[in-house]
Amino acid sequence: MTWLNRDVTEIGGQRLHPETLMMGYGYFPGLSEGSVKCPIFQTSTFVFRSAAEGKRFFELAYGLSEPAPQESAGLIYSRLNNPNLEILEGRLAIWDGAERALAFSSGMAAISTCLFAVCRPGDVVLHSSPVYGGSDYLLEKVLPQFSIRTVGFQAGDGTPALRAAAGEARTQGRVAAIYVETPANPTNALVDLAECVAIARELESSQGFRPLVIVDNTFLGPVWQRPLEHGCDIVVYSLTKYVGGHSDVVAGACVGSRAALEPVHLMRTILGTMTDPHTAWLLMRSLETLELRFRKSVDNAMRVASFLRDHPKVERVAYLGFLDPDSEEGRLYARQCLAPGGTFSFYVRGGEREAFAVLDALQLIKLAVSLGGTESLASHPAAMTHCDVEPDRRAALDIGDNMIRVSIGIENPDDLIADFRQALEVI
Ligand SMILES: Cc1ncc(COP(=O)(O)O)c(C=O)c1O
Per-residue pLDDT tens over the stretch 157-202: 999 999 999 999 999 999 999 999 999 989 999 999 999 999 999 9
Q: Report the C-alpha gap between 409 and 296 in whole angstroms.
A: 8
> In the predicted model, what is the mean pLDDT of the chain?
96
State the pLDDT at residue 303. 98
- The burial class, CB within 10 Å (0-12 / 13-18 / 19+), for 178 is buried
Question: Is the per-residue pLDDT at 291 higher than 70?
Answer: yes
3-state secondary structure of 173: coil
The stretch 382-391 carries a mean pLDDT of 92
Nearest to 203 by CA among 281, 262, 125: 125
Q: What atom in ligand 1 is closest to the CA of residue 131?
A: 1
State the pLDDT at residue 2. 59
CA of 132 to the centre of ligand 1 (A): 6
Mutate to test the pocket of ligand 1, among 112, 179, 241 (most ligand atoms within 8 A of CB): 241
Nearest to 405 by CA among 314, 318, 320, 299: 318
Q: What atom in ligand 1 is closest to the CA of residue 385?
A: 14
Q: What atom in ligand 1 is closest to the CA of residue 218?
A: 1
Q: Report the C-alpha gap between 136 and 94 in whole angstroms.
A: 29
Run of H or E residues at 369: none
Q: How confident is the model at residue 63 (pLDDT cuts 50, 70, 90)?
A: confident
Q: Can you say whether residue 17 is alpha, beta or left, with left for phi > 0 and alpha for psi between -120 and 50 degrees?
A: beta
CA of 98 to the centre of ligand 1 (A): 21
Q: How confident is the model at residue 345 (pLDDT cuts 50, 70, 90)?
A: very high
Q: Report the C-alpha gap between 296 and 410 in whole angstroms.
A: 6
Q: 405 forms bridges with which residues in the sheet?
A: 345, 379
Cα–Cα separations (whole angstroms), residue 370 to 148, 185, 216, 316, 377: 28, 11, 15, 22, 7
CA of 54 to the centre of ligand 1 (A): 37
Q: Report the C-alpha gap between 177 and 200 in whole angstroms.
A: 8
Q: How confident is the model at residue 266 (pLDDT cuts 50, 70, 90)?
A: very high
Q: What atom in ligand 1 is closest to the CA of residue 111?
A: 4
- The burial class, CB within 10 Å (0-12 / 13-18 / 19+), for 13 is exposed
Run of H or E residues at 118: helix 107-118
CA of 107 to the centre of ligand 1 (A): 5
Mutate to test the pocket of ligand 1, among 104, 105, 106, 108 (most ligand atoms within 8 A of CB): 108
- pLDDT digits 0-9 by tens, 6-32: 789 999 999 999 999 999 999 999 899
Q: Report the C-alpha gap between 336 and 342 in whole angstroms.
A: 16
For β-strands 234-238 and 252-256, DSSP reports them as: antiparallel
Which residue ranges have their beta carbon within 6 Å of ligand 1?
A: 106-108, 132, 134-135, 181, 185, 216, 218-219, 238, 240, 250, 252, 370
Q: What atom in ligand 1 is closest to the CA of residue 370?
A: 14
State the pLDDT at residue 389. 87
The closest residue, in CA terms, to atom 16 on ligand 1 is: 132
Q: Report the C-alpha gap between 5 and 145 in whole angstroms.
A: 47
Q: 215 forms bridges with which residues in the sheet?
A: 180, 235
Q: 3-state SS string over 126-181?
A: EEEECCCHHHHHHHHHHHHHHCCEEEEEECCCHHHHHHHHHHHHHHHCCEEEEEEE
For β-strands 366-367 and 377-379, DSSP reports them as: parallel
CA of 37 to the centre of ligand 1 (A): 29
CA of 129 to the centre of ligand 1 (A): 15
Q: How confident is the model at residue 408 (pLDDT cuts 50, 70, 90)?
A: very high
The set of residues, in sequence order, having a beta carbon less than 8 Å from that of 205 and lying 6+ positions away, is none
Mutate to test the pocket of ligand 1, among 132, 135, 237, 286 (most ligand atoms within 8 A of CB): 132
Q: How confident is the model at residue 3 (pLDDT cuts 50, 70, 90)?
A: low
CA of 319 to the centre of ligand 1 (A): 19
CA of 377 to the centre of ligand 1 (A): 15
DSSP assignment letter at 155 = T
Q: Report the C-alpha gap between 236 and 218 in whole angstroms.
A: 7
- Gyration radius of the chain's alpha carbons: 22
